[in-house]
Amino acid sequence: MSSTVPDLAALHALGAAQQPTYPDADAVAANVARLRTMPPLVFAGECDDLKAKMAAVSRGEAFLLQGGDCAETFAEVTADNVRNKLRVLLQMAVILTYAGSVPVVKLGRLAGQYAKPRSSDMETRDGVTLPAYRGDAVNGFDFTPESRIPDPTRLLDVYNASAATLNLVRAFVTGGYADLRQVHTWNTDFVRTSVAGQRYEALAGEIDKALGFMDAIGVDADELKRVDFHSSHEALLLEYEHAMTRIDSRTEKPYNVSGHFVWIGERTRQLDGAHVEYFRHIANPIGCKLGPSASADDAIALAEKLNPDNEEGRLTFITRFGAGKIRDGLPHLVEKVTAAGIKVAWVCDPMHGNTFESSTGYKTRRFDDVIDEVQGFFDVHRALGTWPGGVLVEMTGDDVTECIGGGEEIDEAGLAHRYESVVDPRLNRVQSLELAFLVAEMLRATTA
């Protein structure tokens, strides 16, 4: 790993994919300069802690739960929204830990997830064509010419929104809210009335009993009172990510200090592209998405470039094949990467290969397809003797209706009831708990 990251111009010279076209270069430079003076949002040492946890995942000793919105928005940086999301993630983690009997690494897809790659630069509605929405980091969601112009002052808004979110998350996870004794209070009335909520309630009762027993014998473990929770996002916008990269005084290595874990998306993982070049130089634990078009040779070349020392915990491959393709496509990839001696954590993103448009015009996913892809992921790893290291899910703490199916049996017509996502459809609270119970069963079958 080199000690300096190439400058922004050198990265852009590589033809960076998925970047906004800002109308005013001076305004971009001014905002980047300001960002470079801002304090880090995370510490390099915390990134190292997470890397050690990801090393345990790659060795088959822990399971990663990574979740949050497809795209955060500035408007949703509220106490309720952050708490609701965190609450469901904590519930999911408890289900996986207790019912799946494995240590769970908890990673929020939050506090920085504001920039989106898009399949098309432009969007047309009723004959009007405007630049596509690229996330609150770039432009506004409103379909007006003014709102869709890329605005570099939003880069500072991302910093501030991320800081506020992370501050709240840190307070929640260390300030008593995440104490395992709260396991019942995370189950809100709404959820409790669902089948998944009742199942959770029963599990929480068992945990209570176990805690009572530990109390009785005098165990007072700190681990029960707080959780380790880290942040992650797709490091897409070079201006932002580069400005938030600092040399760590202990190690003299560059770290991206805007999030603990950052990943490269499916559309920006070109081997000679700007993103891979940037990621090669930072010392954070990193991920790289791999879709059905990724060959085993692509994956091996990426690993050699992104993790030349084959350091455990450094690199995670996040596969996103789609339920219909994973059983055919994944085995070859895992087999060849494993045979090459590459140390990597394998994580399943069961969301991005399963998106379609409903007859009612909503971008959606079927809960059953999501589960089927995770099951395929477990089956493939089981057959190869490799470890299914975790899941990345797009979820929210609210009772939205964006994905079809699940115990509440949301159908195509039902999507209209409460569809709020600005980009991809998310699992709601109940669907998230259902997924956690199903994945816990898969984990049990794997470790049995």
Minimum Å gap between C-beta 268 and ligand PEP is 8
Q: Are strands 128-131 and 122-125 parallel, antiparallel or unpaired?
A: antiparallel
**Region binding ligand PEP by CB under 6 A among candidate stretches 92-100, 264-272, 337-345, 409-417:** 264-272
User: Can residue 352 be called a binding residue for ligand PEP (CB under 6 A)?
Assistant: yes
Q: How many C-beta atoms lie closer than 10 Å to residue 23's C-beta?
A: 11
Minimum Å gap between C-beta 245 and ligand PEP is 21
Structure tokens, 61: 């000793």
**Region binding ligand PEP by CB under 6 A among candidate stretches 265-273, 370-378, 383-391, 430-438:** 265-273
Structure tokens, 369: 């397809």
Minimum Å gap between C-beta 365 and ligand PEP is 12
User: Can residue 275 be called a binding residue for ligand PEP (CB under 6 A)?
Assistant: no
How do the residues of the chain divide into helix, strand and coil, expressed in percent and rounded to 5?
Answer: 45, 15, 40
Between 32 and 315, CB nearer to ligand PEP: 315
Give the position of tokens 């789609």.
322
The number of C-alpha atoms within 13 Å of 203 and in the hemisphere containing its C-beta is 26
Comparing C-alpha atoms, which of 116, 144, 145, 148 is closest to residue 132?
Answer: 148
How far apart (Å, rounded) are the C-alpha atoms in residues 132 and 143?
9
User: Can residue 117 be called a binding residue for ligand PEP (CB under 6 A)?
Assistant: yes
Q: Which of 265, 388, 406, 425 binds ligand PEP (CB under 6 A)?
A: 265
Q: What are phi and psi of 105, to 5 degrees?
A: -90, 125
How far apart (Å, rounded) are the C-alpha atoms in residues 127 and 123?
10
Minimum Å gap between C-beta 34 and Co ion is 29
User: Can residue 376 be called a binding residue for ligand PEP (CB under 6 A)?
Assistant: no
Between 5 and 435, CB nearer to Co ion: 435
Instruction: For residue 167, give the H/E element and its range.
Output: helix 154-174
Mapping DSSP to helix (H, G, I), strand (E, B) and coil, where does residue 391 land?
Answer: strand
How far apart (Å, rounded) are the C-alpha atoms in residues 385 and 418?
42
Residue 103, contacted partner among Co ion, ligand PEP, none, CB below 5-8 A by kind: none
User: Can residue 60 be called a binding residue for ligand PEP (CB under 6 A)?
Assistant: no
Residue 289, contacted partner among ligand PEP, Co ion, none, CB below 5-8 A by kind: ligand PEP
Count of chain residues binding ligand PEP (CB under 6 A): 10
Give the position of tokens 């990510």.
241
How far apart (Å, rounded) are the C-alpha atoms in residues 430 and 398?
9
Within 409-428, the residues that bind ligand PEP by CB under 6 A are 424
User: Can residue 266 be called a binding residue for ligand PEP (CB under 6 A)?
Assistant: yes
Between 234 and 369, CB nearer to ligand PEP: 234
In the complex, the residues that contact Co ion under the rule CB under 5 A are: 70, 424
Residue 265, contacted partner among ligand PEP, Co ion, none, CB below 5-8 A by kind: ligand PEP
Residue ranges in contact with ligand PEP by CB under 6 A = 70, 117, 234, 265-267, 289, 320, 352, 424
